[in-house]
């Protein structure tokens, strides 16, 4: 790894088990029928080395993900959380998150989440007719009813949560139906993922004609509906994050953690370590093999920074970031894109534009800039009820 700068781990993604109790049609993970469970000694090795390295400072987020984390018992996580508390430096704030399909949430889990202030993300793709197209059991039956039951239990226990919805061509066409579903179920914090091409999964959504414009129209209408119903939708990730980047001060550097080694560090149940995009762990490629840079049970974390496979990935990722910087007018709100999408859409990290970035970065930025421009025009000569012109409220200059 070039340069003397010490890595900074911001996000630790841990796979407690590769097993998932459902079988989503768009899932790219190849090992989701494996019921193996991570060993406590593997967790101890990970946490001890992360904390001893000095690479985690100030605040660390731990996400239990990749498989369905809730197929393991609550006591597993009680032990894991105690282990973190025993090993972490006193001045390091650690937060835990679960990304779950929601089908296993019960009262006991809700009490555990409250007790440990666990951040919960639930995967649900909208109303039943849309959700059950892809999020199915191993027998091919829809999971909507169980997922909604889990959401309602969280809501009844007042456990804060957000949802992540994978958008297909069908859901992109019905923003009002999606909005009304969230309102009916008391869902206030919403994140959208677009069905992507990753691993063995080839996205039909990406291949659809007019997909970028469909995404723009969906976000625009969803935002309009939210603005017309204040207090109902508190957070739209794609809008809020983009707005924050567009309006950040010119001197504030954008940090894209997905292109920085170890900023996002992922570990599978065996103790294998990968970095950059979390989705890389568990996949294979002819240029980079399995993307694994070491195993926490055999290798020292601090030595992994010098591994040849990491150097090769980093060189290509940085070449891709350089191309983005040179060619793309949206670089200031993106910081070089997502390596996993470049690899599986373009065949190489050392590339720039992807369908994923055109949709989720460019079109989202266009939407925010369009809205800001309309606000500027509306406030150019605002008038009060008495017809007297008022001084407009200044809007910060965009960074793009």
CATH number at residue 213: 3.30.750
Tell me how crowded residue 129 is: count the other CB atoms within 10 A of its CB: 13
> CA 98 to CA 75: how far, in whole Å?
15
d(CA 118, CA 294): 29
Asked whether residue 228 falls in the same domain as residue 125, the answer is yes
Count of domains for the chain: 3
| Same domain, residue pair 291 and 367 | no
Residues 152 and 199 in one domain: yes
Task: For 380-392, give the DSSP string.
Answer: SS-B-TTS-B-PP
Percent of residues, the chain, with pLDDT higher than 90: 76
- Specify whether 126 is located in the same domain as 159: yes
pLDDT surpassing 80 at residue 317: yes
What is the Cα–Cα distance from 173 to 131, expressed in whole angstroms? 14
Q: How far is CA 350 from CA 314, 340, 342, in A?
A: 10, 11, 8
Question: 166 and 267, same structural domain?
Answer: no
Q: Is residue 252 part of a domain?
A: no
Give per-residue pLDDT as tens, 229-276.
999 999 999 999 999 999 988 777 778 999 999 999 999 999 999 999
Pair 286, 313 in one domain? no
The proportion of the chain whose per-residue pLDDT surpasses 70, expressed as a percent, equals 90
Residue 398 counted as domain residue = no
Pairing of strands 235-236, 189-194: parallel
pLDDT digits (tens, 9 = 90+) for 125-140: 999 999 999 999 999 9
The pTM score is 0.88
259 Cβ neighbours under 8 A, 6+ residues apart: 276, 317, 318, 321, 335, 336, 337, 339
pLDDT at 124: 98
Q: Residue 392 domain-assigned? A: no
Which strands, in side-by-side order, build the sheet including 235-236? 235-236, 189-194, 161-167, 119-123, 93-100, 59-64, 11-14, 264-267, 272-275, 294-295
- For residues 336 and 284, state if they share a domain: no
**CATH number of the CATH domain containing 18:** 3.20.20.70
**Comparing C-alpha atoms, which of 305, 298, 306, 296 is closest to residue 273?**
296
- Report the range of poorest mean pLDDT among 26-35, 39-48, 63-72: 26-35
Whole-number pLDDT of residue 397:
44
Residues in the chain: 400
Q: Are residues 164 and 209 in the same domain?
A: yes
200, 284: one domain: no
Distances in whole angstroms, Cα of residue 287 to Cα of each of 24, 215, 350: 28, 32, 12
Which residue range(s) make up the domain with 155? 121-233
Residue 255 inside a domain? The answer is: no
pLDDT digits (tens, 9 = 90+) for 198-236: 444 455 655 565 889 999 999 999 999 999 999 999 999
Nearest-angstrom CA–CA distance, 238 and 359: 11
Confidence class of residue 381 from pLDDT cuts 50, 70 and 90? Answer: low
In a domain, 391, yes or no: no
Tokens of 88: 């972490």
Q: Are 15 and 67 in contact (CB under 8 A)?
A: yes
Long-range contacts of 235-242 (CB under 8 A, 24+ apart): 235/162, 235/188, 235/189, 235/190, 236/190, 236/192, 237/162, 237/190, 237/191, 237/192, 238/191, 238/192, 238/360, 238/364, 239/364, 239/367, 239/368, 242/333, 242/361, 242/364, 242/365, 242/367, 242/368
List pLDDT tens digits, range 87-101: 999 999 999 999 999
Residue 206's pLDDT is what? Answer: 53
Does one domain contain both 225 and 176? Answer: yes
Choose among 12, 86, 69, 79: nearest CA to 301: 12
Helix (H) or strand (E) holding 86: helix 74-87
Residues 299 and 331 in one domain: no
pLDDT (tens digit per residue) in 280-313:
998 888 889 999 999 999 999 999 999 999 999 9
Domain co-membership, 48 together with 28: yes
Residue 241 domain flag: no
Residue ending a domain, choose from 304, 331, 354: 304
């Amino acid at each position: 790894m070039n340069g003397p700068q010490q890595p900074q781990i911001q996000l630790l993604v841990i796979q407690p088990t590769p097993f998932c109790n459902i079988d989503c049609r768009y899932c790219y993970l190849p090992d989701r029928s494996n019921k193996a469970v991570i060993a406590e000694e593997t967790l101890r090795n990970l946490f001890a080395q992360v904390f001893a390295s000095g690479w985690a400072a100030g605040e660390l987020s731990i996400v239990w993900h990749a498989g369905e984390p809730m197929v393991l018992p609550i006591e597993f996580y009680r032990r894991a959380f105690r282990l973190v508390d025993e090993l972490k430096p006193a001045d390091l704030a650690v937060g835990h998150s679960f990304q779950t399909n929601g089908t296993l949430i019960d009262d006991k889990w809700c009490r555990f989440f409250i007790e440990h202030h666990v951040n919960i993300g639930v995967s649900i793709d909208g109303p039943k007719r849309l959700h059950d197209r892809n999020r199915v059991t191993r027998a091919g039956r829809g999971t909507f009813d169980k997922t909604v039951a889990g959401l309602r239990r969280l809501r009844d226990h007042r456990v804060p949560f957000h949802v992540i919805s994978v958008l297909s061509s069908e859901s992109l066409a019905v923003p009002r139906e999606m909005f009304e579903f969230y309102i009916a179920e008391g869902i206030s914090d919403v994140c959208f993922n677009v069905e992507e091409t990753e691993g063995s999964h080839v996205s039909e959504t990406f291949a659809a004609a007019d997909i970028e414009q469909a995404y723009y129209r969906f976000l625009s209408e969803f935002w309009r509906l939210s603005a017309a119903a204040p207090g109902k939708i508190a957070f739209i990730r794609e809008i809020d994050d983009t707005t924050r980047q567009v309006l950040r001060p010119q001197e504030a550097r954008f940090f894209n953690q997905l292109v920085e080694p170890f900023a996002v560090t992922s570990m599978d149940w065996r103790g294998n370590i990968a970095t950059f995009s979390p989705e890389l762990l568990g996949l294979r490629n002819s240029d980079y093999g399995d993307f694994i840079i070491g195993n926490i049970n055999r290798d020292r974390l601090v030595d992994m920074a010098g591994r040849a496979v990491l150097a090769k990935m980093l060189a290509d990722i940085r070449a891709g970031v350089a191309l983005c910087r040179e060619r793309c007018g949206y670089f200031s709100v993106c910081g070089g894109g997502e390596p996993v999408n470049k690899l599986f859409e373009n065949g190489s990290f050392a590339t720039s534009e992807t369908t994923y970035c055109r949709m989720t970065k460019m079109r989202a930025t266009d939407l925010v800039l369009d809205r800001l421009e309309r606000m500027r025009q509306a406030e150019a000569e605002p008038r009060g009820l008495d017809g007297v012109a008022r001084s407009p409220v200044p809007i910060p200059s965009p960074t793009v």
